[in-house]
Structure formats: structure tokens, C-alpha cells
Amino acid sequence: MRNKGKSMVMASFVADSLALGAHWIYDTEKIKSDFGRVESLLNPVSDSYHATKGKGGFTHYGDQSFVLLESIATKKGYNPTDFSDRWRALFKDYSGYIDHATSITLSNYNAGKGVENAGSPSDELAGASRMAPLVFCDRQDPVKLAEDVRAQTSMTHQDPLTNDSAEFFALVARLVLMGTPPIEALKQVVGERFADSPLSQWTAEGLESQDEESVLVISNFGQT
């Protein structure tokens, strides 16, 4: 499980870098015509949100994930104060894109708020998407994993459903690392932890769509 965990962390960074060239382009026909199936590292296009980045670089999500990894490696576990300090240092002179949630969180820190309450009310999944290093770190302890992944998410994204989503993704990833088939892991976590949450309906709808064409299904669900 340790080797699989390391591979998961590496894969999360590879996936972020692979996504850089076409990131945040929502026109699927444009992606098809300009990029095709993305199977190699690409430079961002000139009008990209990531125009300051080069081929092989990370999006601002990947940069934050790497800061989390460095913090966990240094502190031998999740330390909210250390992660917060490193996260703020990342954006002190950041040349990449600063999204709305990051901007609000930084403003709240500047206004004197602390790590527990500086996060934005944003309900998008950037905070949750940083989690791979934490899944590796806490893979033996699902209770601690749930607590830590919610804490690191809420540092920038305090929306309750976003934090539920982070916990859901982390616990599913942990079960898969332990050998549970992905669909079984999805059903198990949603049944045990989120039966009364919108996550239950969304999971059911996602599983029901598995034989349909992906681009159309994603467009129907909502690309964001």
C-alpha cells in the first residue's frame, strides 16, 4: 500500500501538469480541434490563465499541493500552522494565477484572521484537490485522514459541502489504495458517511452514467 500511495501522489502531480495546457478551457470542440486527446505535456496557450507557466509546470492547484507535501514531509504529518505559513509564502510574490478563493483568504489573513477562520466561502473544489499528500500521510487512520483533509480544505474553502466532498474523495482514495474496487469504494463511503448528503444522489447519478459518452455527460452535469 505504501508504494501505491507514493504512486498516487506522483500521479496527482503528473495529472496537474498534464492538464496545464488546456486548463479552464470549457469549449469541448475547441479542446478537440486544438489539442485532441492530451497525452503529453503542453505549454499553456497565450491567453491562458496560466500564461506565465511553461510546459511541465503546475497549475496553481499543483503548486499548493506541492507546498502541502513539503509541509507534511518536514513536520512528519499535517501541521495547520506550518502549511498555512508555507501557503502564504507561496503567494507572496506569485507569478501564476491567483483565484478568487485564494485572494479572499489572503485578504482575511491580512485583516488578522487565523488559520481556522481565514478561509473563503468558496464552494469550488480547489481546496479539496490538494489532498493526495494527506491521503498518503494518513492512509492508516481514516479518522485522522477525515479530520486533516477537512482542516486543510477549510483553510481556503470553508463551504460545508466542499469540505464534505474533500472527506468523501479522501476516504474513497484510501479504500482504493487498500484494494477495494473504485465503484465499491464509492458506494461504501457514501453509504457509511454521506447517505443524507447531496453526495449520495450525485454518486448514484455518476454511476448510472458510466456507459454514456463522457463529454456529453459532463456537459449535462456541469463542467465546473
The set of cell numbers assigned to 48 is: 491562458
Residue with cell 497525452: 39
Residue with cell 455527460: 217
pTM: 0.93
- Dist CA 145 CA 209 (whole Å): 29
The burial class, CB within 10 Å (0-12 / 13-18 / 19+), for 43 is middle
- Count Cβ atoms below 10 Å from residue 170 Cβ, excluding itself: 26
Could you read off the pLDDT of 71-105 as tens digits, one per residue?
999 999 999 999 999 999 999 999 999 999 999 99
Q: Can you name the residues that pair with 120 across neighbouring β-strands?
A: 157
The reported pLDDT for the residue numbered 68 is 98
Is the Cβ–Cβ distance between 90 and 96 less than 8 Å?
no
Evaluate if residue 223 carries a pLDDT over 70. yes
Q: 58 Cβ partners below 8 Å, 6+ apart?
A: 13, 16, 17, 20, 65, 66
Helix (H, G, I), strand (E, B) or coil at 201: helix
**CA 30, 15, 223, 205 torsion-angle sign:** positive
Could you read off the pLDDT of 100-151 as tens digits, one per residue?
999 999 999 999 999 999 999 999 988 999 999 999 999 999 999 999 999 9
Evaluate if residue 167 carries a pLDDT over 90. yes
The reported pLDDT for the residue numbered 47 is 86
All domains of the chain, ordered by start, with CATH? 2-221 (1.10.4080.10)
Average of pLDDT values for 53-60?
95
Evaluate if residue 46 carries a pLDDT over 90. no
